[in-house]
Amino acid sequence: MATDASFMEFVAGQIENAGVIRYRKMFGEYALYSGDKVVALICENQVFIKPTNEGQAFIGQPTMGCPYPGAKPHFLVGAGIEDVEWFSQILRITECALPRPKPKAPKSPAQAKKKR
């Protein structure tokens, strides 16, 4: 079951205090980005926050879950999504704790030709 667009819109409304957050549809589900970092996944109408030590310290004893088969465990946000300040705060904490993504390697001229 893929995430409903209405659920994603609800989530987007709940994170208005988290800073500049954007989301992108991927394979019927969604990824939440803060800057250039993926901070959470929205899968099957559930919110999964990327685990960090700082996030765990904020949450205490988080419920863990896997957003999709084969994925590493993430913090599963249940009723916390209703608390706008709490939800925004955990996203800000996660964004600060995650490393910047590695830059993508430049495309070779052969790869660029294939895309045309």
Q: Return the domain boundaries, the chain.
A: 5-115
pLDDT over 90 percentage in the chain: 65
Q: Between these two residues, 28 and 8, which has the higher pLDDT value? A: 8
Q: What is the pTM of this model?
A: 0.84
The answer to whether the CB of 11 falls within 8 A of the CB of 1 is: no
Distance between CA 90 and CA 83 in Å, rounded? 11
Paired tokens of 72: 């590493």
pLDDT given at position 16 = 77
Distance between CA 20 and CA 6 in Å, rounded? 20
Pick the CATH number of 5-115 from 3.30.1460, 3.30.1560, 2.60.120, 3.40.50: 3.30.1460
pLDDT tens string 45-61: 999 999 999 999 999 99
